[in-house]
Copies of this chain bind each other. A is one copy, B any other.
Amino acid sequence: MAVPLTKAKLRELRDLARKNHRESTGRFVVDGLRSVREAIDSSFRVIELFATQDLENSAAGQALLAEARKRSVIVAHITAREMEQISDTVTAQGVLAMVEWRQWSVAHLLATAARASLIVALDAVADPGNVGSIIRTCDWFGAQALVLGRNSVDVHNPKVVRSTMGSLFHVPVLGGVDLPEFLGQAKEQGYTVYAAAADGDAFADQVTYAAKVLVVLGNEAWGVSDPVNSAADVRLAIRRHGAAESLNVGVACGILLAAIRRQRTGTGD
C-alpha cells in the first residue's frame, strides 16, 4: 500500500535540488526505474520511494515496488505534476527515491587497497554529465574509487546522479577532497600519480603502469591545476592523429582506463 505524499515531503524533494540542502540533510534524489532499482539493491539506505499511478500500473513498476516493500522501504504516491516540479527531466519514468549519502574516508580507501589498485581523481571537472559518465566508466573498468577535488561538481547533483546510470551505487565516490593533500597521502601509500595532460611526457599506451595507479583528470577548459601537475609522477598523453586540440574529459578517462586495464590483464594483440 502506498501512503499519500505529505506537503513537507514534497517540499523536501524539491529542496534537495539545491546543494546546500543536500549537505545539511545528507540526502539526495534518484530518478528513473533503473537508477532507483540500483539504489534499492545497493548498500545505500533508501529513505522513501515516490511512484506515480502509471508506474504502479506497469509490470516493471510493480516488480520494483514489490522489491522495495520486501526491503521495508515506504512507498508514497506522487502525481505526474508533482514529479515535474521535482525532476528536471522527462525521463523520470514515474519514480523517485530519496536516498541517504554514503561517506567513505580517504584513510580507509588508501589503507584497504589491494596490491593492484586503480583510483581515479577529478580536479575541478565542472560538467555534471562528464562526472556522471566518468563514474560509469570507473564502474565498467572496476576502479576502486573516484575522488572528487573540492572544486569539482557535487556528486549528488541530479544530473550527475542520472548520468551515472546507477553506477553511483557501485563505485565509492569521495567528494570535497583536498586533492594536493590526497595525492601526497596516496604517494606515501605507494601509489604512482598519473595526470592526464594533452602535452604529457608519455603516451598512455606506452607507459608501464605501477601496481597502484592513481589517475587524475582536470578541468574541461584548462586541465589539471598546477599543484596537481607538480604532484604527478607521470604526465599521461593520448596519441593524437588529427586536428582536435583536446578530447572530452570523459572520453579521455575511458581511453586511459582501457589502456591501464589492457596492460594489467595482459590482454590484447
Q: Which residues of A contact B (CB under 8 A)?
A: 129, 133, 136-143, 163, 165-167, 170-171, 203, 205-208, 238-248, 250-255, 258-259, 261-263, 265, 267-269
CA distance A239 to B260 in the complex (A): 12
Q: Are B133 and A269 in contact (CB under 8 A)?
A: no
Stoichiometry, as copies per complex, reads 2
Cβ contact of A140, chosen from B139, B141, B208, B247, cutoff 8 A: B247
Q: Are B205 and A267 in contact (CB under 8 A)?
A: yes
Q: Are A248 and B245 in contact (CB under 8 A)?
A: no
Q: Are B254 and A241 in contact (CB under 8 A)?
A: no
Cβ contact of A242, chosen from B142, B242, B269, cutoff 8 A: B142
Assess A269 versus B205: contact at CB under 8 Å? Given A167-B243, A254-B252: yes
Q: Name the residue in A138, A163, A240, A262 with the highest tally of chain B Cβ atoms < 10 Å from its Cβ.
A: A262
Chain B nearest Cβ from A162, distance in angstroms: 12
Q: Are B170 and A244 in contact (CB under 8 A)?
A: yes
Minimum CB distance partner of A144 in chain B: B242
Assess A136 versus B244: contact at CB under 8 Å? Given A250-B251, A258-B238, A259-B258: yes
Minimum CB distance partner of A250 in chain B: B251
List the 10 closest pairs (A to B, CB-CB), nearest first.
Answer: A142-B242, A142-B241, A251-B254, A139-B244, A140-B244, A205-B268, A133-B248, A170-B243, A255-B258, A139-B242
